[in-house]
Amino acid sequence: ATEPARTGKYDKVYPKSGYFVCRGCDKPLYSYKSKYNSGSGWPAFDKCYKGTVDTISDRSHGWSRIEILCSNCGGHLGHVFKDGIHRSNHRHCVNSASIKYEDKEEESDMEEEILDLSKSTAKKKGQSKGDDTDNGCIVM
């Protein structure tokens, strides 16, 4: 199951440098600059590194959301919502269990982007273990 609100390791962590990587494959996903306090109880980010996060429609639990996945390994990260209050109107609501913090210098090619939420970018149907209509969501 998704970690309960306000219990994740990175909910209240706001580093001054470094980045967050996928816990499954160590792919850099989020700059320290994108992390902010959304008040939701889960780590929130407004932008990701270019080409590192995929999106897929998630219609599970009786409502429509956009699931976010690591573009490298397909691991479930959480969901993205359009109610952000930081540098964009996006809030990547991420499970602490799906990321880890690296206190390292960002490389020069680590460019941030705002996700295009108008279409799914997952490489194939079922990347998130959903059915053929993209209704599924991996729950940790």
Give catalytic residue positions.
93
Sheet holding 99-102, edge to edge: 28-31, 19-22, 99-102
In the structure encoding, which two tokens stand for residue 125, read together? Answer: 């149907």
d(CA 138, CA 73): 13
Name the phi and psi angles at 29, rounded to 5: -120, -45
d(CA 71, CA 77): 10
d(CA 51, CA 71): 7
